[in-house]
Structure 1
Amino acid sequence: MADVNEKRLVDRFLQMVQIDSPSSHEREMADYLKKELASLGFEVAEDDAGRDLLQTLGDMRGAETIRFAGNLIARKKGTVQEASPVLFAAHMDTVVSNKGVKASIQDGVIRTDGRTILGADDKAGIAALLEVAQIIQENRLPHGDLEFVFTIAEETGLNGARLLDKKNLRAKFGFVMDSGGPPNVVIGASPTEIDFSIKIYGKAAHSGVNPEDGVSAIAAAGHGLSKVQMGRIDEETTVNIGVIKGGEKTNIVCDYVELWGEVRSRNKEKLSWEIAKIQTAFAMACEKVGARFEMEEQQIYSGFQLTESDEVVQIAFEGARKAGMNPQLAPRGGGSDTNIFNAAGIPCVNLGVGASKDHTVEESVSVKDLVQASQLVLGIVETVVERAGAEVHR
């Protein structure tokens, strides 16, 4: 296996985290990647996902001043015709702005000064892919067709991947570089997520003059919440109510409350059961105080479940072993673009890039994990070529 240029890899990562790219503001990052990918021999196309997303949300105010960015689809023709086309993906956006980030390396770990996030989620994944692309170019390594996809707005609900025209993708399987934790952990299972909103309607009244004429939506919400089990339900199911809004003044019996939450599970029956329990809890609570409620649900993404018998898992394992790692198959409780690709019929696993405490100002990534993530991608590319040779000579 060719060597990873550690200094170049780290320097490129540090350069990318200086590019501020919160969700729906990925233009500068997209422009940077277009230039880099072109220099590495890729043909790059950009779709209209940014504009499509705002149209979907129904808010085009000031659209004429917005420099939209779409998903990038970059392709490099393979040198081994028999090798299967392979997809690698990462997302360009960060969960919040990291403008003014000050990153440094201490004891082999890259972190910030604690004022901003680092942006390793997911620029660590992007850095690994660009490093491998450069290694392939410099060493003229044999490879099949490469298909790199860099999405927008992943952090706001996998929106870029959702709007991507998956029918245009040529790869039959793929690898998403976007999991926290070490690169040897292959994420082969992820839950389905259903988000819900609950609207509770009470009756307003003066809290000091005639409170008995009012119906408190807050009281109904409290009774309902007391019956809902939140947090980790079991090893594959979680429930959370994360937002509650209601009331205007302390001297008015509150007549309206709205709650937003989510249920995730890798088991569809458990998912339906938890949603039903929540609905029942608020129905009984509203009946108790004389309020009424409405509940709406929306599936955000569907789950997937892969095993060691799936080809994409086997290739990831072989690639990890080539990189000197002991691969492990594991589930994850979060969603990623991996969910969208699997739902579209493209078997994918999510691979660790070493990011730790992502989405916080304590986010970090080790140089060792950055290097190993790159070695893993390189190992996967080599494995696909070797499998093609074995198939030809069978």
Structure 2
Amino acid sequence: MSGESRAADDKSALAFFLELLRIDSPSGSERRAGRACAAWMEDMGLSVAWEPVSLGDTVSANLWAFAPGDPALDPVLVCAHLDTRWAGVPDVRRRSDGWMESGNDVPLGADDKAGVAAVMAGMARILREGRRHPPIHILLSAGEELGSAGVRASRRIAFSARRALVVDAEAPVGTLVEAGYGQARVWLRYAARGEADRFSVWRALQEATVRTGFGLTCELVRFVPSDTGCEAEVAVWFSPDVDGRIAKARYRSWVAELERSTEPRDVRAELVYPAYDVRASSWLHAVRSRMERGVGPVTCVRMRDGCDANWLASMGLLPINVGVGYESAHTRAERIHEESLVRLTRLLVAALSEP
């Protein structure tokens, strides 16, 4: 590969990232960002298709593309998401030291527009250089910030591939997520019982958070007293080290005991995302080896925050979430370094093409 061609792709990742940042794309309103991606992929010669999905009261769409490859190789699904948690367009500031951040109150949006841009640039290089690669299905999902709604509603995923690369981890470039925690939320409402009783409920909830048993951790994230009673929200994390069926059975038993001991007026529980573990997969070993040969050392970690990878695993895929390099996602302090886009593009090329 010539130095000139590599520089062109490095520049394209940054240029497309900056183009995406100029497009407002909160969850449910991703279509415009998707159209920009569709045009870019069609210019590469890829076939694209839209998959409508319902996101609450609105209808958005997942964007799919396909790059035919060597049929002797196992197909791969590459996934990143189009939506951002906050609406608006950031005032992008590119500092002299290479960091990019927002100069207004809108978070930068590198989660996950940096991941999308690196996928686009990596595919452009693979195709232009004629690299041997497996059949590649590209999914740019909608509604990831709404509990991976686009992935969960998709009817195409099961027919695409068994192996997946998800480009969406809030971690340094060169990080692979080998296991992810699951999370459930429990919302409880209590009738008015007086100040002393409200304190008793709060204390009972705090005590319950340390009695979850092995494989579960718990936190009281919200407790709001009022004249009409009080409301509480509890987060429960499932360790990937424990069999999912055992963890869920312990969780259900814990919720039942919580109801018995605190006597809420109303209870609602929801699985936000499931746990998963790909540490024993040959796919993880293959991706790590290819990336280390192509770019350099790679670190494998477990991640507490959920994303599309958690739900892809529940659908029977082997997902490896790739560190994108952004920091402080969803906050005014969100930022990413320009070099992260360059290195991430090279890592994806190494992972998706044959040595």
TM bin, normalised by shorter chain, reads 0.7 to 0.9
Distance 1:244-1:133 versus aligned 2 partners, 3 A rule: same
Instruction: Choose 102-111 or 117-126, whichever is displaced more.
Output: 102-111
What amino acid sits opposite 2:261 in the alignment? Answer: M
8 Å contact kept, 2:326–2:336: yes
Q: 1:126-145 alignment to 2 at 5 Å?
A: 126-145=116-135
8 Å contact kept, 1:201–1:217: no
Distance 1:70-1:273 versus aligned 2 partners, 3 A rule: same
Distance 1:198-1:131 versus aligned 2 partners, 3 A rule: same
Distance 1:331-1:81 versus aligned 2 partners, 3 A rule: same
What amino acid sits opposite 1:224 in the alignment? Answer: A
The alpha-carbon deviation at position 282 of structure 1 amounts to: 6.0
Q: Is residue 77 of structure 1 aligned with residue 57 of structure 2?
A: no
2:12 maps to what in 1? 8
1:125 maps to which of 104, 108, 115: 115
1:368 maps to which of 312, 336, 339: 339
The alpha-carbon deviation at position 95 of structure 1 amounts to: 1.5
More strand by share: 2
The alpha-carbon deviation at position 195 of structure 1 amounts to: 1.4
2:271 maps to what in 1? 299
1:359 maps to what in 2? 330
The alpha-carbon deviation at position 20 of structure 1 amounts to: 1.2
Q: Is residue 165 of structure 1 aligned with residue 155 of structure 2?
A: yes
- Provide the C-alpha distance between the structure 1 equivalents of 2:220 and 2:64, rounded to a whole number of angstroms: 36
Deviations 1:40-69 (A, max 9, x none): 1111111121xx232xxxxx4xx6xxxx42
What amino acid sits opposite 2:74 in the alignment? Answer: S
Q: 1:195-214 alignment to 2 at 5 Å?
A: 195-202=185-192
What amino acid sits opposite 1:74 in the alignment? Answer: A
What TM-score, normalized by structure 1, do the two folds share? 0.79
Q: Is residue 218 of structure 1 aligned with residue 198 of structure 2?
A: yes
Count of equivalent residues = 346
SS in 2 for 1:227: helix
Q: 1:221-370 alignment to 2 at 5 Å?
A: 221-229=201-209, 237-245=216-224, 247=226, 254-266=227-239, 267=242, 268=244, 269=246, 273=250, 276-277=253-254, 280=257, 283-286=260-263, 292-307=264-279, 309-370=280-341
- Provide the C-alpha distance between the structure 2 equivalents of 1:298 and 1:92, rounded to a whole number of angstroms: 24
What amino acid sits opposite 1:321 in the alignment? Answer: E
What TM-score, normalized by structure 2, do the two folds share? 0.88
- Provide the C-alpha distance between the structure 1 equivalents of 2:213 and 2:19, rounded to a whole number of angstroms: 41
8 Å contact kept, 1:241–1:259: yes
What amino acid sits opposite 2:228 in the alignment? Answer: D
The alpha-carbon deviation at position 190 of structure 1 amounts to: 0.7
Q: Which runs of 5+ in 2 are unaligned?
A: none
The alpha-carbon deviation at position 294 of structure 1 amounts to: 3.6
Distance 1:329-1:134 versus aligned 2 partners, 3 A rule: same
8 Å contact kept, 1:338–1:349: yes
What amino acid sits opposite 2:274 in the alignment? Answer: S
- Provide the C-alpha distance between the structure 2 equivalents of 1:327 and 1:44, rounded to a whole number of angstroms: 32
The alpha-carbon deviation at position 274 of structure 1 amounts to: 6.3
The alpha-carbon deviation at position 318 of structure 1 amounts to: 1.9
